[in-house]
């Protein structure tokens, strides 16, 4: 696992956006051979989506031949609810770039048969030949997508009940009222994420410090699903200084040292 440490959220976001742009540019996607991405919601990716939009507006990158699969969606709120992940993705990303609507995939939390919806999602990912790059954020309890503590590390797309901690964390988007946060969601599984060829996680702020410690310094453990990244051949965690607050000084020094030549985000676009 690589750990990229940037000074603050803005810099971490810029590094991540440039890294994604580099990956897409190097892949040279076409309509017959698109670049397949997994995408998150939450506050963590907001700035990097802005940065990707800016790169698109400057003509650096096109999303015409990119296909996306979002990680998760709440069950039971209308697609056009301001806090649905459908709305989030349109507002923060899709409506600002040139991605064709038919290339974007988000789980339908209102499907009449939710189990079938999950099976279809997995099948569609497979049909495309799998995900090239899965971008994610993490919850304060280390959850990846909605894979709450105790989720099987082999899990696939399914229905999950949200923990009270997650409902409290996400209530900031629902007028601070946990009772307005849906109790269940559809989410890709940890196994679905681990199947991607590459995983890129952004974490910012000290509320993520405990999870980052588990992910980087402790063992693989289903109580901190982000730690499953240790089992993946190609994963990168990008943190700001606050998110690494709980890791040992020597660990920080080690990663800063081995990545010292890779920390400047501008170099990522020199292709
Ligand atoms: C939600 C999402 C996760 C996201 C997490 C962290 O629970 N399901 O995919 O990573 O929130 O959100 P934030 O980035 O706002 O801290």
72, 117, 198, 240: which one is catalytic?
72
CA 218 – CA 213 distance, rounded (Å): 7
Confidence category of residue 271, pLDDT binned at 50, 70, 90? confident
Cα 122 to middle of ligand 1, angstroms: 21
Span 62-104, pLDDT tens digits: 999 999 999 999 999 999 999 999 999 999 999 999 999 999 9
C-beta pairs of 77-83 under 8 Å, 24+ apart in sequence: 77/109, 77/182, 78/110, 79/108, 79/110, 83/173, 83/174
Task: Examine the residue annotation and report whether 165 is marked as an active-site residue of this protein.
Answer: no
pLDDT at residue 159, as a whole number: 98
Confidence category of residue 41, pLDDT binned at 50, 70, 90? very high
Span 224-267, pLDDT tens digits: 999 999 999 999 999 999 999 999 999 999 999 999 999 999 99
Ligand 1 atom with least separation from CA of 185: 8
CA 56 – CA 82 distance, rounded (Å): 25
pLDDT at residue 169, as a whole number: 87
Quote the pTM value.
0.96
Span 155-207, pLDDT tens digits: 999 999 999 988 998 999 999 999 999 999 999 999 999 999 999 999 999 99
Confidence category of residue 39, pLDDT binned at 50, 70, 90? very high
- Count Cβ neighbours within 10 Å for each residue of 146-185 and write b for 16 or more, e otherwise: bbbbebebebbbbebebbeebbebbeeebeeeeeebbbeb
Task: Examine the residue annotation and report whether 80 is marked as an active-site residue of this protein.
Answer: no
């Amino acid at each position: 696992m690589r750990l990229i440490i940037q000074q603050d959220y803005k810099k971490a976001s810029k590094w991540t956006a440039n890294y994604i742009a580099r990956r897409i540019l190097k892949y040279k996607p076409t309509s017959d051979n698109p670049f397949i991405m997994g995408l998150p919601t939450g506050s963590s990716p907001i700035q990097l989506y802005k940065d990707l939009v800016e790169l698109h507006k400057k003509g650096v990158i096109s999303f015409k031949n990119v296909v996306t699969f979002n990680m998760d969606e709440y069950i039971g709120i209308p697609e056009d609810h301001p806090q649905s992940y459908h709305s989030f993705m349109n507002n923060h990303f899709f409506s600002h770039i040139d991605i064709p609507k038919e290339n974007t995939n988000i789980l339908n939390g209102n499907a009449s048969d939710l189990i079938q919806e999950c099976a279809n999602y997995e099948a569609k990912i497979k049909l495309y030949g799998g995900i090239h790059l899965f971008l994610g954020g993490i919850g304060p309890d280390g959850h990846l997508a909605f894979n709450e503590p105790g989720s099987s590390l082999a899990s696939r797309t399914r229905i999950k009940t949200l923990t009270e901690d997650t409902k409290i964390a996400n209530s900031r988007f629902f007028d601070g009222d946990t009772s307005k946060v849906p109790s269940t969601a559809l989410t890709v599984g940890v196994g679905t994420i681990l199947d991607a060829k590459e995983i890129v996680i952004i974490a910012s702020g000290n509320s993520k410090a405990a999870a980052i410690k588990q992910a980087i310094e402790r063992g693989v453990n289903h109580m901190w699903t982000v730690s499953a990244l240790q089992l993946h051949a190609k994963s990168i965690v990008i943190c700001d200084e606050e998110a690494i607050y709980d890791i040992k000084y020597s660990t920080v020094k080690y990663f800063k040292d081995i990545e010292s030549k890779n920390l400047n985000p501008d170099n990522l676009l020199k292709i």
